[in-house]
Amino acid sequence: MSNDILFDVHRRVATLTLNRPDRMNALLPGMRAAFEEALARSAEPAVKVLVLRGAGRAFCAGGDIAWMAKAMAEGNWTEMDALLDLGSSVACALALLPKPVVAVVQGAAAGAGMSLALCADLRLATPEARFSMGFAKIGLHPDWGGSVALSSLVNPAIAAELMFLGDNLRAEQAQALGLVNQVVPVEQLDTALEALTTRLAAGPAETFARIKATLLRNRGLDAQGLRARVEAEGAQMKAAMHHPDAKEGLEAFLEKRAPRFA
């Protein structure tokens, strides 16, 4: 498994840790094999709960902007598409995993990082956590299942506001909107997580699998419908990537200036 993703299982609780703390755990297409291995192992009977975490001061800053800008400048669309396809695959795998998924958010959960957090079933956050669907700020479309998950968690007007504007949500604001289950001081986070995962790990695995299926069905989806929506989201992102606004947005972000969109 790549060092960019760490995975372990302890007392039937699996933990997948994004491990690029120097890049705020930004996502790269090279993580595919590690994601696939971790998710496959999470589906084994020995695991009853999956925890998603980020190493260091952030949960996940989304796609690696510097890498994306370089790939775009070089016309490396194969690798760019691979990153977006990875997001679609991970989003579907988490939604269809027949056991609870818990995201633990410290610091930034931005762009695809927020999407990844929303793909969990439950979310814990520290008061310092910040959530942002910041795609439009750099001329991009939500991906990694973010638009699909967000639209099922909040009312359409709030989903539209968060996707159009991409403003930061503080942890308490995210909790008020129903995007976070608990806000826990950082010094109490591990204790709160252990308490939650211990309860889940002691629960009835077959019933939890049925509840996961019911939660998906109550969103009007099945496996095929979920994949169709996530793939449609990904197609919009791929189209956005080819528009000049995306190049301008990425360059402006790296140059720390306001973008000048068409």
- Phi/psi for 107 (5° steps) reads 65, -145
CATH architecture of 1-185+204-262: Alpha-Beta Complex (3.90)
Cβ-proximal residues to 201 (8 Å cutoff; 6+ apart), any chain: 11, 12, 13, 48, 49
Question: What's the pTM?
Answer: 0.97
Domain borders along the chain are: 1-185+204-262
pLDDT at residue 168, rounded to an integer: 96
pLDDT at residue 1, rounded to an integer: 61
Which pair of structure tokens corresponds to residue 204? 């009835």
Residues in the chain predicted with pLDDT less than 70, given as ranges, are 1-2
- Per the CB < 8 A criterion, the answer to whether 128 and 157 are in contact is no
Rounded Cα–Cα distance for residues 83 and 78 (Å): 9
